[in-house]
Amino acid sequence: MEEKAGKARESRQATIDELLQSFDLAVTLTANVPGWPKEYLTANAVLLPFIYKLLERFPELSLLTAYDELGAFLAFGLNGDKEEVKSFGLTLEDSPLGRLVDIDVYYLDEEKPAVLSRTDLGRGARSCFLCDDEAVICRRLERHAAPDLRTAFDSIYEAYLKELPFFERLATLAEAALWNELCRHYGFGTVTLNSKGSHRDMDVPLLLASIRVIGDGIRSLNETDVSSFDRLRQKGQAMEAAMFNATDGVNTHKGAIFHLLIATSAIYRRPELLHAETGLKTYIFALHEEIKEIAAPLLGELLAIDELADDEKVKLKGGLKSYVKYGHGGARQEAIRGYETLLKKWLPRFSAVPEIEPLLPEILERTWDTTTLERGGFGMLQTLRMMALRAGSKEDLAYLSAWCEEHDLTTGGSADLIGLLYYFYLIYTFRAALA
């Protein structure tokens, strides 16, 4: 692990050096994660509010990203006064949630990279999560156990959520889920922090813009919006329009909007599931039944397609086209079934061991991915699913991900379900903050 961490640090420094060749400053944003592993959902989630704050304050920022053994890494290049930028970063760091992140400002000092410290601006050292001593001293002395520090880390994020209105809490977790979906080593043709995958029209900044408007859509929900499927559909159409406006017409998250709205509606209708004493099995089975009830109108819509004339059927797209040709309704069919596989199989396993890589082969194999189908046809989809079933190691996953890019395939449907899995997991993990 230490060898991989060392290589990650070297790569990060190379990114900083690269930015300083073109900009006055390189600003890095990382999670202040105690212990190992560095890769976990809360650590990634805490970064997102600060990404948006930095982009709002300095819209001219140039962004480079990576995901490695040290977690998510964001490096921004910009021209400006280093003290002014560092001062803004310290303002963010000194906020309650800011305790969980590090914002560093690098510049060239006699042609060598240097970092501007808190003490350079007359600020005191940062305090420990668990005591009033300096964090660096506690870390050096290994004064606190890693599990206790992780608990404190999560508690700070939970306290942040509690201060928000109900739908904004859900919006924050939905944004965190979509952001976390980008934080993985293998994208199988989709965009990640490490690669654009098979997409020439998408990158991380575009997806950040899309994630924000999706979050705004969930923030604006009210009781009427989630009261019926028709109202939910109207809200979804408005969110899709906002997404296309933010992305200049690129479909970044249409499937995710569909899944997240159904999930949000189910959570709103079953507030008793947000009590701290609710067990995972109760949460899963109640959501499964609630989602089937919400999505019931979709079944009638699929069945009605069978009655269409052939000249009408050929006009259908996406999951409806897939249903006509192959008998599978894509995302609609997952919802009709109450996300049975995701909730009853993947969520318990992920909750026990919150690592996505062991689940990736099954997710890719079990998902009827209409984005793969549209790009590569039925044969390539089936080949991908067969290869996924046989992927038993990191090397296999790396090969399969590269194979997708080589054949210009993308697995957007699987990515949407990973985002949904994260959403259900985060809601359950922080349910006490939502009750």
pLDDT digits over 418-435, tens only? 999 999 999 999 999 998
pLDDT higher than threshold 90 for residue 317:
no
Q: Which domain holds residue 76?
A: 2-126
| Paired residues of 74 in beta bridges | 29, 65
Amino acid at 207: L
For residue 128, the model assigns a pLDDT of: 86
pLDDT at 38: 65
Is residue 109 in a domain?
A: yes
DSSP summary character for residue 73 = E
- Say whether both 117 and 266 belong to one domain: no
If pLDDT is split at 50, 70 and 90, which confidence band does 33 have?
confident
- 169 and 114 both lie in a single domain: no
349, 230: one domain: yes
Average pLDDT, stretch 277-297? 97
Give yes or no: residues 304 and 239 share one domain: yes
Mean pLDDT of 338-343: 98
HSE on the CB side for 271, CA within 13 Å? 6
Residue 159 domain-assigned?
A: no
Same domain flag for 194 and 117: no
CATH code, domain carrying 55: 3.30.70
Separation of alpha carbons 401 and 237, rounded Å: 32
> How far is residue 406 from each of residues 97, 199, 267, 409, measured CA to CA in Å?
41, 12, 40, 8
Query: Is residue 201 domain-resident?
Result: yes
CB of 254 closer than 8 Å to CB of 399: no
Averaged over 211-237, what is the pLDDT?
96
Residue 374 included in any domain: yes
Q: Which of 103, 126, 149 represents a domain boundary (last residue)?
A: 126
Provide the number of structural domains found in the chain.
2
> Which of 286-300, 319-333, 345-359, 375-389 is predicted with the least confidence, judged by mean pLDDT?
319-333
Same domain, 111 and 195: no
Same-domain status, 186 and 317: yes
Dihedral sign for Cα atoms in the order 118, 124, 130, 136: positive
pLDDT at 256: 98
As a whole number, mean pLDDT of residues 396-400 equals 97
Band of pLDDT at residue 1, cut at 50, 70 and 90: low
Do 85 and 225 share a domain, yes or no?
Answer: no
* 227 and 351 together in one domain: yes
Task: Tell me: pLDDT of 406 over 90.
Answer: yes
DSSP 198: T
pLDDT digits (tens, 9 = 90+) for 63-119: 999 999 999 999 999 999 999 999 999 999 999 999 999 999 999 998 899 999 888
